[in-house]
Amino acid sequence: MLKLIERLGPVTAEQASDSLTLPFELRMRGRLKALSDAGRELGLFLDRGPVLRDGEGLRAESGEVVRVKAADEPVVTARIEGALALARLCYHLGNRHVSLAIGGDERSSSGQGWVRFPPDHVLEELAERLGATLEHHQAPFDPEPGAYAQGEGHSHGHAHGHSHGLDHSHGHRHDHEHGHAH
C-alpha cells in the first residue's frame, strides 16, 4: 500500500504519477483506504482539517505524488442572471449552513452565475423562489472552503472564552463563562 502523508497544494497531472478520484464526503477525511485511479491500494495518513481540493497533490512516503480529483456526484446547479441576484441567492442558501460551490459560466456573455449544492428539496424550492433555474446532474462538487479555512494546506484550531456579567433588576449579579471553538 502506498502511504500518502503530506499535502502539497495544487499540482498538475504531469507532476503526479497517479490520481485518486473521491466524492466530497470522502475528501473531508484525513484517514482513508482507497484505490487509486490506476487500481493501486492507497492509504491516506494526513492531518485533520482541510478538505482535499480538486487538483491537490499528496506526497507518499516514497516521494511519489498522487493528484486528487473531485468525483462526479449528484448535484443541483442553480443558475441566475445578474451579480445582485447571485449574491442574494448565495446569501440565502449559505444562511442555511450548507456547503456551496460558486461559479460563473465563461461561455455566457451575460455573466450568468451559478451555485451548486447536493440535492435538497428545501434548498431547491428556495433557489427557485429567488429566480434561479435548476439543473439536476452529475458533476464534481468542490465547495468554497469558507472564510476561516487556512490557505496553506493546514489548519490551526483555537478556542477563546468570553466572560459576561449579567445584571438583573433584583439586586444581584450573575457572571458566567462560555467558550467558542473555531
Per-residue pLDDT at 117: 95
Q: Identify the CATH number of the domain defined by range 72-140.
A: 3.30.70.790
User: What is the residue-averaged pLDDT of the chain?
Assistant: 82
pLDDT in tens, 11-31: 999 999 999 999 999 999 889
Q: Are 6 and 59 in contact (CB under 8 A)?
A: yes
Domain range list for the chain: 2-70, 72-140
Give domain 2-70's CATH superfamily: Urease metallochaperone UreE, N-terminal domain (2.60.260.20)
Task: DSSP for 5-34, please give it.
Answer: EEEEEE--GGG-SEEEEE-HHHHT-SEEEE
